[in-house]
């Protein structure tokens, strides 16, 4: 009997090893000539996704031109600003270009390229707001973006002007908070705010740019120095050959690259963003399937460990459930994606990190109800089976499990649906699933209400299909 438990345990260890090996195998520890670069995909005109689902903007075009000039390749990762900062610091990404201001504090942990743009922070309010200067902010709320120099600036003057700070991960969420009237104002980089206003964001700028400073391309301090040197050389070339001027003019010139002319009806938006939505949808479904698979394997193993007659395994099962059910999914995702790699110096691709997160979190819930389901089967059943001479394993398989599984099925269905919904949280680590896709589309067209409605409907359709499928399976099993 002991051998069976041992093999169960070995199975679990192998599963964990497999997932980690997969992560190690996909990304070699040393960067090749293709560099993984983080951005802030919701920061037009520096970086955003265009109608054709391509990352564009001053930063992106400049980086691509430099890469071409210097003979390296880049893989642009769709993260938030703060997400990129963390991913570069943990070694998950090789560098970042995100309209990032070169500041003293940042220079402690980043190496910056030569400056490539100068910008400052402005304050924006709704067009007929009575708040027109910093003095009017007393007692009001000010929206800022996590980890940005705008947020630092707000903190530095908060006491003096007596306002409250509300933090958002995306520029557009920050604008919306002001538009809806929750916050009285927001602080944003001047060229970005001006671009947003020109694109139709219902805000106006009321202050002159302050804290003016340069933007730079950044790598983790002491790392990827070759990449940094190439960037500097390429930047000098681009300035010399006129490419730099062409790119900045393209986005900041009178015409700009505008998206205001397109069809803004629901149908129009779906048509324009069809391929992005489809891509996000596929990623969500794929992530859900892979996660459900691993979570079920993990959950069933841990659940069974909780009911075998062995104190050690019982304790292990309880501990795993306690830890992974107790941790918020978001914390677990960040811990696996940015916490572990900064210790091990081993990259974990976002998809793998996301799958491991869901495997542990959803798996812990599955383990809990697997354990509960088995325990719910009358104890007399086990005693009767054993007294008929069945060994524990056989009694479990033949007598207890068939009854237990029936009890568990509704919980399984519930957990699958929750897994699908929870994939949206993984947008935080830059997985391009439906939610992240939505954020990126909105950064371009600022149609928050319509795009979130479309995304919500897609989730509901998938959840309905999943529920139907589960009910169908449930009926079959019941027969
Ligand atoms: N320039 C600001 C900073 O570096 C904002 C950058 C951003 O929001 N992408 O903090």
Q: What is the pLDDT of residues 421-438, one digit of tens each?
A: 999 999 999 899 999 999
Closest CA to 379 of 367, 387, 389, 370: 387
Mean pLDDT in residue range 75-79:
92
Residue 149 CA, closest ligand 1 atom number: 10
C-alpha 40 – ligand 1 centre gap (Å)? 9
Question: Measured from the CA of 152, which atom of ligand 1 is nearest?
Answer: 10
Give per-residue pLDDT as tens, 159-188: 999 999 999 999 999 999 999 999 999 999
* pTM (predicted TM-score): 0.83
What is the pLDDT at residue 291? 97
pLDDT at 32: 53
Determine the distance separating the centroid of ligand 1 and the alpha carbon of 378, expressed in angstroms: 61
Q: Answer whether residue 3 shows pLDDT above 70.
A: no
> How far is residue 126's CA from residue 340's CA, in Å, rounded to a whole number?
43
Out of 189, 193, 439, give the residue to mutate to test ligand 1, the one with the largest number of ligand atoms within 8 Å of its CB. Answer: 189
Nearest to 299 by CA among 356, 364, 372, 375: 364
For residues 163 and 141, the answer to whether their CB atoms sit within 8 Å is yes
Conformational region of residue 153, where left means phi above 0, alpha means psi within -120 to 50, and beta covers everything else:
alpha
Enter the tokens of residue 209.
Answer: 């740019």
Q: Give distance in angstroms: CA of 121 to centre of ligand 1.
A: 9
Residue 385 has pLDDT above 70, yes or no: yes
Q: What is the C-alpha to C-alpha distance for residues 7 and 320, in angstroms, rounded to an integer?
A: 18
Confidence of residue 27 (pLDDT cuts 50, 70, 90): very low
CA distance 372 to 356: 24
> Of all helices (H) and strands (E), which one includes residue 268?
helix 266-272
Cα(429)–Cα(249) distance, rounded to whole angstroms? 32
pLDDT of 48 > 80? The answer is: yes
Helix, strand, or coil (residue 478): helix
Q: How confident is the model at residue 31 (pLDDT cuts 50, 70, 90)?
A: very low
Tokens of 463: 């959840």
Closest CA to 442 of 49, 21, 12, 7: 49
Show the ligand 1 pocket: residues with CB < 6 angstroms.
40, 43, 81, 98-101, 145, 148-149, 189
For residue 2, the model assigns a pLDDT of: 47
CA-to-CA distance for 173 and 396, rounded, in angstroms?
A: 53
Q: Are strands 141-145 and 164-168 parallel, antiparallel or unpaired?
A: parallel
Spatial separation of the C-alpha atoms in residues 227 and 233, rounded to whole Å: 10
Which atom of ligand 1 lies closest to the CA of 100?
Answer: 4
**How is residue 299 written in tokens?**
């959950």
Q: Is 198 helix (H, G, I), strand (E, B) or coil?
A: helix
CA atoms within 13 A on the CB side of 337: 30
Contact assessment for residue 441 and residue 54, using Cβ atoms and an 8 Å cutoff: no
**Helices and strands in the chain: count of H runs, count of E runs:** 20, 13
Q: Which of 58, 77, 86, 98 to mutate to test the pocket of ligand 1 (most atoms within 8 A of CB)?
A: 98
Rounded CA separation 98/216 (Å): 8
pLDDT at 270: 94
Rounded distance, CA 314 to CA 320, Å? 10
Q: How far is the CA of 149 from the centre of ligand 1 (A)?
A: 6
Kindly list the structural domains of the chain, giving each domain's residue range(s) and its CATH number in brackets, ordered by start. 2-26+272-478 (1.10.3720.10), 34-112+216-258 (3.40.190.10), 118-214 (3.40.190.10)
* 95 vs 397: which has the higher pLDDT: 95
């Amino acid at each position: 009997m002991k051998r069976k438990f041992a093999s169960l345990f070995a199975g679990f260890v192998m599963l964990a090893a497999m997932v980690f090996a997969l992560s190690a195998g996909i990304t070699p520890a040393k960067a090749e000539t293709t560099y993984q670069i983080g951005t802030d995909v919701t920061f037009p005109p520096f970086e955003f996704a265009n109608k054709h689902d391509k990352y564009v903007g001053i930063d992106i075009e400049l980086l691509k031109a430099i890469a071409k000039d210097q003979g390296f390749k880049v893989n642009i990762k769709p993260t938030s600003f703060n997400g990129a900062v963390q991913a570069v610091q943990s070694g998950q990404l090789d560098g970042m270009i995100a309209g990032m201001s070169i500041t003293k504090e940042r220079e402690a942990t980043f190496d910056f390229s030569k400056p490539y743009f100068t910008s400052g922070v402005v304050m924006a309010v709704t067009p007929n707001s009575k708040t027109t200067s910093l003095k009017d902010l007393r007692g009001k709320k000010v929206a800022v973006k996590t980890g940005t120099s705008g947020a630092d600036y707000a903190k530095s003057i908060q006491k003096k002007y007596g306002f409250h700070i509300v933090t958002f991960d995306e520029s557009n969420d920050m604008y919306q908070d002001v538009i809806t009237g929750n916050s009285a104002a927001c602080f944003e980089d001047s060229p970005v705010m001006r671009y947003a206003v020109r694109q139709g964001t219902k805000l106006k700028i009321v202050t002159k740019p302050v804290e003016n400073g340069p933007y730079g391309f950044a790598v983790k301090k002491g790392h990827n120095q070759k990449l940094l040197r190439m960037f500097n050389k390429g930047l000098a070339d681009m300035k010399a050959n006129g490419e730099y001027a062409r790119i900045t003019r393209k986005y900041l010139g009178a015409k700009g690259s505008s998206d205001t002319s397109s069809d803004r009806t629901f149908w129009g938006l779906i048509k324009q963003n069809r391929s992005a939505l489809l891509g996000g949808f596929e990623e969500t479904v794929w992530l859900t399937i892979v996660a459900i698979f691993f979570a079920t394997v993990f959950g069933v193993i841990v659940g069974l460990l909780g009911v075998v007659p062995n104190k050690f395994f019982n304790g292990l099962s309880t501990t795993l459930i306690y830890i992974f059910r107790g941790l918020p999914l978001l914390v677990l995702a960040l811990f696996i994606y940015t916490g572990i790699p900064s210790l091990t110096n081993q990259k974990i691709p976002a998809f793998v990190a996301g799958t491991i997160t869901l495997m542990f979190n959803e798996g812990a819930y599955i383990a809990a109800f697997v354990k509960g389901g088995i325990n719910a089967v009358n104890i007399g059943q086990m005693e009767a089976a054993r007294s008929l001479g069945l060994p524990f394993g056989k009694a479990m398989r033949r007598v207890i499990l068939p009854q237990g599984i029936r009890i568990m099925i509704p919980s399984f269905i519930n957990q699958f649906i929750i897994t699908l919904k929870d994939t949206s949280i993984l947008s935080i680590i830059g997985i391009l699933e439906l939610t992240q896709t939505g954020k990126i589309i909105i950064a371009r067209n600022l149609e928050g209400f319509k795009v979130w409605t479309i995304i919500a409907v897609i989730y509901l359709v998938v959840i309905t299909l999943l529920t139907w499928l589960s009910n169908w399976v449930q009926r079959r099993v019941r027969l």
